[in-house]
């Protein structure tokens, strides 16, 4: 199962994703897609260390799935976290071009 590590940044609470360099990014597209158990375990350890260092709060794994040729969070909850409120497209990551834009993908598939 493909996935990614996510958390909320301590200082402002914004949603962040673990990137390939062990840092955090606000942009879902810049997050590291992890494909195997070893990578998942290592990334979770990196996340836990970052939480212990008071950079982020409660890092955890989210499942991803390929849709429309790109990875998107599998759970609606995580898709909304990675995008912003579905009722306010002018707010959150979607307003900054950082979202997986699952709504557009869903609309295209419908």
* Nearer to other proteins (CB atom), residue 34 or residue 84: 84
Q: Which stretch binds other proteins (CB under 8 A): 19-27, 30-38, 39-47, 79-87?
A: 79-87
Q: How far is the CB of 77 from other proteins (least distance, A)?
A: 6
Residues in the chain: 110
The answer to whether 87 contacts other proteins (rule: CB under 8 A) is yes
DSSP 19-87: -TTS-EES-GGGSPPB-SHHHHHHHHHHHHHHHHTTSEEEEEEEEEEEETTEEEESSHHHHHHHH--TT
State which residue, 39 or 106, has the beta carbon closest to other proteins.
106
**Beta carbon of residue 96, minimum distance to other proteins (angstroms, whole number):** 12
Q: Categorise residue 34: left if φ over 0, alpha if ψ from -120 to 50, beta otherwise.
A: beta
Q: Which spans of this chain sit near other proteins (rule: CB under 8 A)?
A: 8, 10-15, 51, 53-54, 57-58, 74-77, 80-81, 84-88, 91-92
């Amino acid at each position: 199962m493909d996935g990614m590590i996510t958390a909320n940044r301590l200082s402002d609470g914004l949603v962040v994703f673990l990137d390939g360099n062990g840092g955090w990014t606000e942009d879902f597209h810049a997050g590291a897609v992890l494909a195997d158990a070893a990578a998942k375990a290592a990334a979770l350890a990196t996340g836990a260390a970052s939480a212990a260092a008071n950079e982020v709060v409660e890092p955890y794994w989210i499942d991803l799935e390929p849709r429309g040729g790109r990875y998107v969070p599998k759970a609606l909850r995580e898709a909304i976290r990675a995008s912003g409120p579905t009722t306010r497209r002018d707010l959150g990551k979607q307003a900054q071009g950082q979202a997986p834009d699952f709504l557009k993908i869903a609309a295209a598939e419908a």
